[in-house]
Structure formats: C-alpha cells, structure tokens
Amino acid sequence: MTTPPIADLTRTCQPFTSAGIVSALETAWAAIRARHPEVPEVVLIVGSGSPATPKASMKWGHFASLRWQHGDRQLPEVLVSGEGLKRSPAEILVTLLHEAAHGLADVRGIQDTSRQGRWHNKKFGKNPCSAKSVDKPRPNERKIVPWTLDQVRAVRAAIPARYQPMVDLGSACGMRQGEILGLAVDDIDFADGWITVRQQVKRVRSRLVFGLPKNNKERRIPLSDAIADILAQHIIDVPPRSVTLPWEDPDNDKRVTVTLLFTTTRKNAINRSHFNPDFWHPAVKQAGLDRSRDNGMHALRHFYASALLDAGETIKAVAAYLGHADPGFTLRTYTHLMPASEERTRAAIDALFGKPKKAPTPSTRPGRTWRRRFRRSRAT
C-alpha cells in the first residue's frame, strides 16, 4: 500500500465539507498505519479544540482509548480540532503522527503520561541510547588505500592544462577542493614558500559563495619549490581573474572580491558540481580507476598525507597542514600508513648506548653475524 502524498490532503479539503475533511484525515491515518502496522485502527472525528478553562491551551488533537463500539470490537477515538484545520497540511499531519504515537503506546500497554506535561509516555522521556548499559555502535573501520604516484600523474595528465595545477595543490599541498577553487594569488608567498588557506568556494542553496575554510580556521601550508614553479607558470599561462561572490550566504549583502587562481573559461568561479562530472570523473576513468567516493578529489589529500608520513613527518604537523581540528583524528585515519618503527627504535637505543647511529640492515645485525660465525665454527 503506497503512502498518499500530503498534497492529497489539501485537494480533498478544498470543498470544506465535513465528509471530505474526515475522509482526508482517514486517508492520512491509513497511510500512517501502512508504514507502521502496529498503530491501531481508530474512529476519526472533528470537534472543538477550544480550552475548557481560560488558562488551558488550544488542543489540536486527542486520543481516547476504546471510546467507540464497532460490532464486536471497541475502537479508540482520535479527535482533530476544527480550529487546527486552519493550519498547513504538514502541521495537521504532525498532529496525526502525535496521536498515532499515543495509539502505539496504548497498543503496547505503555503507561501514557501526556497529562503530566510529557510527550507520550515516561519511557520516551529520555533517549534510551544514552543509558550506560547501551554500547554505542562503532562504524566499520575502512582503511584508506592512497593512490600511487603513477595514478596521480595519470589523472593529472587527463585533465585540461588550465586545471592541472589543481591536482598539484591537492597531492602536494593537501588542500581540499573548495580551498583550491578559492585560492587567491595573494595567498601564495613565493618568496618564503608558504600557502595561506583563507577562504573556499562552496555551494549554499545551489549558489556559489566564498566562506571560511572547514573548521572556520585559516592555516598555512609549506610550498615546495617544484610546486611554486608550476603555479608561477600557471599564472603566466592563465592570468588570474577577480571574482565577486557573497560571503557565506547567498542572501548576504556582504560581497567579497578575490583574485582567483582558477576560473572557468568564462572568467567565473568554478562550480564543483560542474567540474567533477565534466573533468574529474572522465580523468579518473581514463586513468583506469573506478568512479567512486574513494576516488574523488579528496583522494589527493590522502596521497599527500601518506607521502608526509612515509617521509617521517609528525602527526601533529600533518594534522596542521591538512586543517584537521584534532590530531587524534589524523592519527586514527592514517596510522596504518605510518612506516614501521622497529629499526628506528633499535637505532635510537644503539645511539643511547654508544653504538653507531646508522640503523643496521637485517643481514648485518650482530645477532645474525654471530649465528653465521657459530655455524661456520661448527662446520669446521
């Protein structure tokens, strides 16, 4: 049985006849029971919801258990106030859902305490998941598998030349897509080798705006000489354009002008909803990768993080460059990518006790050397 849309309730109520109104309410109740079969069958009536005393509030609806006799069965009553029918169809549906909860409590034999000012019953007063006896479910941990350098290069080569430096900023600076789209020329310090992430381009109600980076915090990222050269050449090949957008909210009167490093061929800010299907997804497919969430532009950040960790960078530094609010999140996300530390541990202890600082290879460890000598002495 399909659920009738709310619009049906509006159309049925247009004549404003009592029979049509009750019929519409019965249809809505049937739709609720189709979704929740345990909700009881009821007799629906329309009556006055005016308060009995001056201090009482208007009653939009009421559930009464076993009020009507229907053959051999007793049916509960659901009253919907006539005054409440002036509200929108959605608000009327909320009232029916409220009374359906009362009916469900009645069927299950749960004591209803709505007269004491609490919704439905005392068992609904607190979130049962907040109890100490309840263990919170843990999501399945998915280990990130970063792209290889060859995969990054293949995707970059498949993207139009004017957008290829975007891949470099993701894979060599760890910037998010919105941050790359919002990067201004003034945010790049070529002299000292830094990029300052000050804003991003994002979509709000299907319109583009400038806004603060994620976590509402600016950050600085080291800029290597190789990427600086690529960006400098890009500025020569594709001159930056000034773009004016609202700040944070499309309806905001505040407008911000930024000289963007990347724009469309029409000199506008890039909309990710157009960039991804037009350029990113075809490039991923051409590189031999599956189109999936794991292979979105965010994969470049994972590559960047894995490269830093493999080079021995600290978790705190990686978190700062990625813009993570909590280094613990960075550790939980990328801990499996950190290189094994056994040899560094041995080298550290050897250095402490006067041994050479160079970490021995497995074939030159003293223990194995002694074993080889021992075997030779026994053979002779």
Q: Tens digits of per-residue pLDDT, 140-175?
A: 777 889 999 999 999 999 999 999 999 999 999 999
Q: What is the pTM of this model?
A: 0.59
Task: Tell me which of 234-243, 302-311, 351-360 is least confident.
Answer: 351-360
Tens of pLDDT, residue by residue over 71-89, are 778 888 898 988 888 888 8
Percent of the residues in the chain that have a pLDDT greater than 90, as a whole number = 46
Q: How confident is the model at residue 15 (pLDDT cuts 50, 70, 90)?
A: very low
* pLDDT above 50 (res 241): yes
Average pLDDT, the chain: 83
Give the C-alpha separation, 49 to 61, whole Å. Answer: 7
* pLDDT above 80 (res 293): yes
Mean pLDDT (whole number) for 13-23: 66
Q: How confident is the model at residue 122 (pLDDT cuts 50, 70, 90)?
A: very low
What SS3 string covers the chain?
Answer: CCCCCHHHHHHHHCCCCHHHHHHHHHHHHHHHHHHCCCCCCCEEEEECCCCCCCCCCCCCEEEEEEEEEECCEEEEEEEEECHHHHCCHHHHHHHHHHHHHHHHHHHHCCCECHHHCCCCEHHHCCCHHHCCCCCCCCCCCCCCCCCCHHHHHHHHHCCCHHHHHHHHHHHHHCCCHHHHHCCEHHHEECCCCEEEECCEEEEECCEEEEECCHHHCCEEEECCHHHHHHHHHHHHHCCCEEEEEEECCCCCCCEEEEEECCCCCCCCCCCHHHHHHHHHHHHHHHCCCCCCHHHCCCHHHHHHHHHHHHCCCCHHHHHHHHCCCCHHHHHHHHHHHCCCCHHHHHHHHHHHCCCCCCCCCHHHCHHHHHHHHHHHHHHC
Helical axes 299-310 vs 315-322, angle rounded to 10°: 150
Percent of the residues in the chain that have a pLDDT greater than 70, as a whole number = 80
* pLDDT above 80 (res 58): no
Residue 112: predicted pLDDT: 58
Residue 49: predicted pLDDT: 78
* pLDDT above 70 (res 377): no
CATH, domain range 6-126: 3.30.2010
Mean pLDDT (whole number) for 275-288: 96
Residue 83: predicted pLDDT: 84
Residue 10: predicted pLDDT: 42
Hey, what CATH class is 149-337 in?
mainly alpha
* pLDDT above 70 (res 118): no
Residue 362: predicted pLDDT: 54
- Structure-token match 């290597």, residue found: 224
Domain ranges in the chain with CATH number 1.10.443.10: 149-337
Give the C-alpha separation, 145 to 2, whole Å. Answer: 43
Residue 82: predicted pLDDT: 85
Mean pLDDT (whole number) for 41-51: 85
Domain ranges in the chain with CATH number 3.30.2010: 6-126
Please give the residue that has the higher pLDDT: either 261 or 340: 261
